[in-house]
Amino acid sequence: MGNSYSICQPRFYHETSALSILTTKAGVIVMAVLFFATLLLRLPSRLNIDNVNTAFNKVASAVMTEYTGTVHFFVLKRGSKEPKGPFSDEDLVIMMNNGELSITDFVFYEGLGEWKPIGEVFELHEQISHFVDDGQDTENVALAFREVSNVVEDTESVYYIAVQARVGLLSKTKQCVIITEKHVFIMHERRVGFELEAYLWKDVTNTLMRDDGKGLGSYSILLGAEKRLDVINLPLKQVQRLFQLSQEMKMDNLG
């Protein structure tokens, strides 16, 4: 008797593109298929995932989002050079239960960035699904979750992830604030990888929040009498949640 699979639908929110407004969905799919067929002819005989990523990303965005905002998935079996799709999450479940797909085969959807094994993608989304309830950008949440999970102990859990609504004047990428029961992290994207600033709750003197208007706010971390770290342009709802959890974590880490 084989494994029976079920998939937790990732919480992605997509706006209908201008292309889907100006053309019919069927027309977009036909255009995408023709364009992608041309690109596949240029791929080397040996599968190169980077090449497939680059080619397919140009096509997928045109057909990923229906008017309902449903996420469409494309799959690539290991050893194959022919992606198939689009499929719904229900389609993936049926194909996996029928043995047509393995959790080690690849999946792609708009916002994922690159092809990844099916098992890895949906395991991650089950873990992070409750971190996007306050409107966080899911891709940034996934990146922050991965980075923090790589540096904390197995016994240390991520409680909350906040993502900037927009970047600051001197930054080109969004910052994230991540709260665990032992640390508060600030994640910055650099040219090569990511940088995490980590501060133990026992070293945090206080945390502050400020309503900056227009639905945005600032979250501040005080370290002693002289050092202060500010993360601006956070959605106000996320700032309020950060502040609430910060007070709880500080109390739990006293002594």
d(C-alpha 250, C-alpha 205), whole Å: 9
Beta bridge partners, 234, equal 217
Q: What is the pLDDT of residues 35-49, one digit of tens each?
A: 455 434 433 344 455
The residue with tokens 């929040």 is 209
**Closest of 71, 72, 77 to residue 49, by C-alpha:** 77
Q: Is-above-0.75 flag for pTM? A: no
What are the tens digits of pLDDT across the range 175-192? 999 999 999 999 988 777
Domain range 132-252, CATH architecture: Roll (2.30)
Domain parsing of the chain, residue ranges = 18-127, 132-252
Q: Which one has a higher pLDDT value, 47 or 95? A: 95
For the chain, state the CA radius of gyration: 21
For residues 97-109, give the mean pLDDT.
85
